[in-house]
């Protein structure tokens, strides 16, 4: 199990909040060896922001917002760890209902998955087509609501909370996640609400679902080219070790 975090670690909303969850998993599955590794992504976050900032401004979304490089920095550090340690499967918790965050667009997931495959790592997003427990913002946009391909894949009334109940890893309401309880055992991004509303009220009405998607792919292409170069140099030549630090 990998956890990515931007330093400095603060007491509130820190990775320490995840420790009870790790202990719970170990108690629930005593025959499974859980190794919890904490990866520092702050330097990668800053590196990507410096190198792709002009792309961010040209794309027109997330200008001056740290979220523009948050997800790809977490992704890059986790992928490099997998490559270094012979791990062939990298899982994520992205969800199509939260495509309001552009890195969770289906096309973004497809591109990052193809990128992983180049290194022999399979990217698995097991809950991507689940009905999300959160507010379904994108149903106000016809390009999402009327996309028959998306709608046919969504697993209605199938939530992560429901699955956790079924396999004995949770006791939440099947159709509505208890976020107060959930946030006690995970790192909480304190900026996500602000960024969410900026995207929802400003950028989506301006560009539309397809417009955001197209701009996101342009930015992601730029970032993946940067990541390929530094990951290759890290794996093959031992460079950029400071960007792939393990906290513990």
pLDDT category of residue 142 using cuts at 50, 70 and 90: confident
More confident residue, 195 or 97: 97
Judge whether residue 84 has pLDDT over 90: yes
Residues in the chain: 248
pLDDT of residue 79: 96
φ and ψ at residue 229, rounded to 5 degrees: -65, -50
More confident residue, 195 or 152: 152
**Cβ-Cβ contacts under 8 Å for 158 (sequence gap 6 or more):** 130, 131
The alpha helices in 87-203, defined as continuous H runs, are 106-117, 142-145, 148-153, 160-166, 179-182, 192-198
Judge whether residue 187 has pLDDT over 80: no
Judge whether residue 155 has pLDDT over 60: yes
196: its two tokens: 């969410």
Q: For residues 109 and 94, what is the distance between their CA atoms, to the nearest angstrom?
A: 8
Query: How does DSSP classify residue 130?
Result: B
Domain ranges of the chain: 2-244
Judge whether residue 2 has pLDDT over 80: no
Model pTM above 0.95: no
- Condensed to tens digits (0 to 9), the pLDDT of residues 23-72 reads 877 888 888 887 888 888 889 988 888 887 777 777 766 665 667 788 89
pLDDT category of residue 181 using cuts at 50, 70 and 90: low
The enclosing H or E element of 157 equals none
11: its two tokens: 């007491």
């Amino acid at each position: 199990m990998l956890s990515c975090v931007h330093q400095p670690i603060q007491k509130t909303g820190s990775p320490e909040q995840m420790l009870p969850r790790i202990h719970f998993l170990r108690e629930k599955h005593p025959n499974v060896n859980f190794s919890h590794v904490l990866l520092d992504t702050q330097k990668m976050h800053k590196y990507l922001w410096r190198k792709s900032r002009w792309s961010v401004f040209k794309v027109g979304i997330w200008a001056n917002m740290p979220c523009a490089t948050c997800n790809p920095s977490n992704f890059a550090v986790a992928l490099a760890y997998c490559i270094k340690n012979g791990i062939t499967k990298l899982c994520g918790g992205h969800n199509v209902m939260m495509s309001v965050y552009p890195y969770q667009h289906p096309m973004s997931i497809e591109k990052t998955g193809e990128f992983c495959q180049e290194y022999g790592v399979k990217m698995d997003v097991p809950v991507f087509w689940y009905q999300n427990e959160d507010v379904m913002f994108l149903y106000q946009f016809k390009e999402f609501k009327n996309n028959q391909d998306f709608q046919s894949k969504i697993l209605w009334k199938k939530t992560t909370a429901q699955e956790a109940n079924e396999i004995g890893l949770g006791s939440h309401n099947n159709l509505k996640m208890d976020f107060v309880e959930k946030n006690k055992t995970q790192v909480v991004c304190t900026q996500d609400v602000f960024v969410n509303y900026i995207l929802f009220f400003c950028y989506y009405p301006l560009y539309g679902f397809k417009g955001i998607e197209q701009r996101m792919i342009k930015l992601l292409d730029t970032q993946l080219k940067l990541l390929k170069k530094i990951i290759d140099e890290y794996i093959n030549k031992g460079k950029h070790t400071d960007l792939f630090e393990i906290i513990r």
